[in-house]
Structure 1
C-alpha cells in the first residue's frame, strides 16, 4: 500500500497501523501545525494517509 509518494501521519510514539502494512519510511519531523482535515483524521482513525502524487497536480 505504501508507495514512494505516499504520506502517512500518525501521532508521535504510536506504531504504524497493522491494516496499512507495507514499507513505510519513518522520518522524525517536528510539526508545528497540521490542517484541520489531518487533525480530524488522526483523532478519528489514528492516522491520515494520502497519495502525494495526486495532490501535486
Structure 2
C-alpha cells in the first residue's frame, strides 16, 4: 500500500504507507488517499529513492472548449 500526497503547486508525492514525508520534501503536503498498486516506474523510484515525486499536468487557462454556434 502507498500513500499519495498533493501540495498547492500541483505536486504529487507517493511514499510507502506508514513512512513519513522525506526530509528534503518537507512542505505543505496533504494526504489525498491510499492506493494498493502503482506503476512499475513509481515502484522502482520508491525502491531506490524512498519516494516518487512529480508535478501534475495542469490545463492552461487559454484552452477552453468553445461552444459551436450555427
CA deviations over 1:30-53 (Å, ceiling 9, x no partner): x23211110000011110000002
Determine which structure has more spread, i.e. the larger CA radius of gyration. 2
Pairwise CA distance, 1:4: 3.4
Normalized against structure 1, the TM-score is what? Answer: 0.77
Alpha-carbon distance between aligned partners in 2 of 1:50 and 1:37, rounded to the nearest angstrom? 12
> Which runs of 5 or more structure 1 residues have no equivalent in the other structure?
none
Please give the residue correspondences for 1:1-57 in structure 2 after superposition, counting only pairs within 5 Å. Answer: 2-29=7-34, 31-53=35-57
> Which runs of 5 or more structure 2 residues have no equivalent in the other structure?
1-6, 60-70
- The structure richer in strand per residue is 2
- The structure richer in helix per residue is 1
Q: CA RMSD in A?
A: 1.8
Normalized against structure 2, the TM-score is what? Answer: 0.65
Greater relative contact order (Cα 8 A, min sep 6): structure 1 or 2? 1
